[in-house]
Structure 1
Amino acid sequence: MGMEQDKSRKTIDNWALIIAVVLASAFGVTIFAKDWQYGFVFFGILAFGVISVKKRWFSNRIFHD
């Protein structure tokens, strides 16, 4: 496993995260429009998920290489 593979994988992971956040945000906006309390909870969970992925809190527990 060279550095090239790790770098490309990290780039793919970043793009996947961006796409997931955009889709989740669009979904969250529709929830928010119907009921703001559910939207608030949804965005809180989404923010926690993004932060945990970026900080790699759960990477060694969930994703095994």
Structure 2
Amino acid sequence: PNLLGGIVTLSAIGNRAETENWGADLYRSEPPATEETKLKAVPYFAWDNREPGEMLVWLREG
């Protein structure tokens, strides 16, 4: 309720691809290992009202 004047966010548990051991490879024959992670979706119009940081505007279906 205190985030940017009470904007609506969505929270969920998802899976993130672990790509640390991929090196400079663009493609691999096996899918990446995944780890469970928390995610929070903030409306695009409100994203840049905070400090600079990572942003992903699409989610891969799997």
Give the TM-score band, short-chain normalised: under 0.3
Q: Taking CA–CA contacts closer than 8 Å with sequence separation of 6 or more, which of the two structures ends up with the larger relative contact order? A: 2
TM-score (normalizing by structure 1): 0.20
TM-score, length of structure 2 as denominator length: 0.20
More helix by share: 1
